[in-house]
Amino acid sequence: MGKSKLRAAILGVTGMVGQQYVRMLENHPWFEVTTLVGSRSAGKLYGEAVEWIDSYEPPARIMNMPVKVAEPESEDVDLVFSSLPTEAAYQLDTKYAARFPTVSDASSYRMEPDVPLLIPEVNPDHLGLLEVQRRKRGWKGSLVTSPNCTATGLVIALKPLHDAYRIRKAVVSTMQALSGAGYPGVPSLRIIDNVIPYIKGEEEKVAAETKKMLGAKSSDAISPDPMGVSVMVHRVATIDGHLESAYIETERPVDVEEAKEVLRDFRGKPQEMKLPTAPERPIIVMEQDDRPQPRLDRMAGSVPGMSTVVGRVRRGLDDHSLRLTLLSHNTIRGAAGNAILIAEMMHELGYLE
């Protein structure tokens, strides 16, 4: 291991998001995975415990590492990535965060007032909450959360439009991939030849998280954005990539071609800082009538799976409205990739010291 690399632990390492962490961190220039944590898989080698479903060949180094039981009090790492299920994360994320900088994909603490809910291109200033968090909780470490996978792609697309036109209302209908349900996902006889128009708690999460991420930070809290957000969710038989159709109403008049340029031109702090996992273009705008499509476009961009792909941008009912379709890779940008990008930004801003 290079001396300059920070030692990273992955919690919940055998799941679908855990597998993305393994893949994305294997040749990372700043971080190296040194600790794997699981519950049912504890005591086994990773290669014995994991049912690998990615087409990528997992690294032998990781496959031969033991999976440990969670021991936050005795861990010897520099940072922690948590992809634990909600209940386990509720028990363990704060125990790790008390000692180490921790980035969690779980929903357990996303809406806590002193916990940043972060997309690095959208609301990097929300990291300022960590000073409040450490002071209030007496932590040596910290906890930052990565958003719901559906909210992530949506908010990336809404952010530049909101800055340019002030969005009053967003009405969103989603078509969400099976991997969003975790492994083994949805039983085959429920989803083949079918669409399920319900995912427990998802509509409420996406609406609340969108408003928090687009909200304004004061000295010690986030004021949710007043934008109205209505979400209807559907589970569909694609493997990866959440497709979403959005109808947006704005305070200022919208020109369609100008709106496309606003989306294309969007850049954030990760691009300015040239972070390793930052895509050159956070938003890719497609002109084809029938794009984006999950199978064709979920890995688009300079860092595959990290860009939100937007298409079918067109006028709504009047010149204060817009319709568009967006696609985001739910286990990369919507989970592991976004969390790694958060950690990279924290590293460059001094939050991992």
- Let me know whether 58 and 127 are in one domain: yes
pLDDT above 80 (res 326): yes
Integer Cα distance of 244 and 193 in angstroms: 20
Per-residue pLDDT tens over the stretch 262-310: 999 999 999 999 999 999 999 999 999 999 999 999 999 999 999 999 9
The SS3 of residue 332 is helix
- What's the pLDDT at 3? 55
- Let me know whether 246 and 130 are in one domain: no
- Let me know whether 141 and 211 are in one domain: no
- Let me know whether 158 and 136 are in one domain: no
Question: What Å distances lie between residue 280 and 262, 274, 283, 300, CA to CA?
Answer: 15, 8, 9, 11
- Which helix or strand (DSSP H or E) is residue 256 part of? helix 256-265
- Let me know whether 131 and 181 are in one domain: no
Mean pLDDT of the chain: 95
Integer Cα distance of 67 and 159 in angstroms: 39
Per-residue pLDDT tens over the stretch 2-37: 458 999 999 999 989 999 999 999 999 999 999 999
Confidence of residue 41 (pLDDT cuts 50, 70, 90): confident
Integer Cα distance of 193 and 38 in angstroms: 34
Does residue 305 belong to any structural domain of this protein? yes
Confidence of residue 1 (pLDDT cuts 50, 70, 90): very low
Q: Which amino acid, 104? A: S
CATH of residue 56's domain is 3.40.50.720
Does residue 1 belong to any structural domain of this protein? no
Q: With beta carbons less than 8 A apart as the criterion, state whether 214 and 222 touch.
A: no
Does residue 157 belong to any structural domain of this protein? yes
- Residue positions annotated with a catalytic role: 149, 242
Per-residue pLDDT tens over the stretch 300-319: 999 999 999 999 999 999 99
